[in-house]
Amino acid sequence: FSVANVAAKISKLKNELVDVDTYARQANTADPQEAVFLEIFRQYTRTLTAANAFDFDDLIAQTVYLFRAFPHIAELYQRRFRHIMVDEYQDTNHAQYSLIRELTRPTGALPPASLTVVGDSDQSIYAFRGADIRNIVEFEHDFPEAKVVLLEQNYRSTNAILGGANSVISNNR
């Protein structure tokens, strides 16, 4: 186990909103590698808790857990943030998506916050960091009231570059 590999795996799990207890319930502890990783993950979690600390991935995951466990707390933030804008939406992970859903959820007399996302499913490049392309592909299903505006005029690239890119995309489908 390298520090980088363990840190990456813990980060990936937290970005999927899988905490150590959830992971432990599904872990194959008969596999020595998985058993050791689980113990490392447990000790890491205990160390963070003892230090009253969060790591970077916890900032979003713990906020989602908080909002789900205490809807009245979520409502305070839903009232405060009435307009939410997400750029590079195609590169959001599950935890980020869940936070957006929690912030835009209608509550009682409060209508949902307005949500604007900008993204291009053809430009999703962060799957290795947990980005989930389904977030943008299924956007209209998840947010049925959304109005989709396609920006089809490109001011950055010449026709030759666009033609070449489109032919590569067409050949790879």
Q: Answer whether 77's CB lies under 8 Å from 46's CB.
A: no
Residue 172's pLDDT is 64
Low-confidence ranges of the chain (pLDDT < 70): 154, 169, 172-173
Phi, psi of 62 (to 5 degrees): -65, -30
Nearest to 2 by CA among 32, 37, 30, 38: 37
* Residue 146 Cα distances to 104, 116, 134, angstroms: 12, 9, 16
- Taking the C-alpha atoms of residue 53 and residue 58, their distance in angstroms, rounded to an integer, is 9
Q: What is the model's pLDDT at position 160?
A: 78
- Contact of 55 with 7, CB cutoff 8 Å: no
- Residue 150's pLDDT is 80
